[in-house]
Chains A and B, each alone.
Chain A
């Protein structure tokens, strides 16, 4: 599995990634995945990651970029 940008989050990420891949390949791709079964593990991973992003000042870069994305998403969804 790919590494996390924060080494302290690697374990939580690995647990979440494994769960997601199983769900994605066995359920979502077969049209059976309507709910996210890995939400609990994602919450744990996200908690660790959020702190790491803040410590490294990446959260501010993300905020700016996601403001742009909101507009793009609206356009792209309309296109489909």
Chain B
């Protein structure tokens, strides 16, 4: 695993409010690429911690530079550079100790790029915040770590080796063989990882902005305010209310 990005941030909102905003963060005006969110499982463990697994469906636009690197067999199911992908999100909340741990990772496209985002939220004022979670009592720190790894190079190399063997009898394939065999594994991985790193930094900013919008709605209008905002966002995303 390659460690790629780590950042810390402090939300000027209480820990309970931040956890609520985390569950309610889609849809928001910065998340138009998130098409759906479903709960796969939810349980309270023996220590009173709430464990949740969710699946998000996202539409993603692959950068042309990545598309160019992909073999046809992979890029064939991408139309116009658009595709859908699924993200698995697990979270554990300990409301007594005041921490939330989350992990998100892509379920498909893992042969090309695996991205794992981990977040640790921590209540920063170790006093009882009482019942008033809708106002900014106390602050909440979060450490975000994103790790990613491209396995594409391994696959392409294996393919090139097989092709090379088959091409021995066929002189026409010679230049192709040379090209593919020289295409260095680390070079491809670095290209994909460099593109991913630019996209990830951009995306992390957007997800923080999204959280801020939801938190502000919570502060000004409570739970009702958040739900109303969501309805508006959904209407503008799909052009209709509900489905």
Residue numbers of A with Cβ under 8 A of B are 1-7, 9-10, 13, 16-17, 20-21, 24-25, 28-31, 33-36, 42, 45, 49, 58, 61-62, 65-66, 69, 72-73, 76, 80
Contacts and interface: CB of A to CB of B under 8 A. Distances in A.
Given A2-B27, A5-B55, A20-B42, A34 B107 contact: no
Contact of A36 (B44, B92, B99, B238): B44
B223 interface: yes
B20 A69 contact: no
Given A13-B38, A20-B42, 11 more contacts: A2-B34, A5-B55, A5-B57, A7-B243, A10-B242, A21-B223, A25-B223, A31-B96, A49-B38, A62-B88, A73-B90
A2 B243 contact: no
B130 to A, nearest CB: 9
B177 interface: no
Given A5-B57, A35-B44, A76-B101, A29 B95 contact: yes
B4 interface: no
B36 A2 contact: yes
B63 interface: no
B37 interface: yes
Given A21-B223, A36-B44, A61-B86, A3 B37 contact: yes
B55 A62 contact: yes
Interface in B47-91: 48, 50, 53, 55, 57, 86, 88, 90
Given A10-B242, A21-B223, A31 B95 contact: yes
Interface in B205-243: 223, 227, 230, 234, 238, 242-243
Nearest to A79: B101
Given A58-B86, A62-B107, A29 B40 contact: no
B20 A25 contact: yes
A31 B37 CA distance: 26
A59 to B, nearest CB: 10
A29 B137 CA distance: 14
A8 to B, nearest CB: 9
A61 B107 contact: yes
B29 interface: no
B44 A10 contact: no
B90 A69 contact: yes
Given A21-B223, A61-B107, A62-B88, A45 B39 contact: yes
Given A5-B36, A36-B44, A62-B55, A29 B227 contact: no
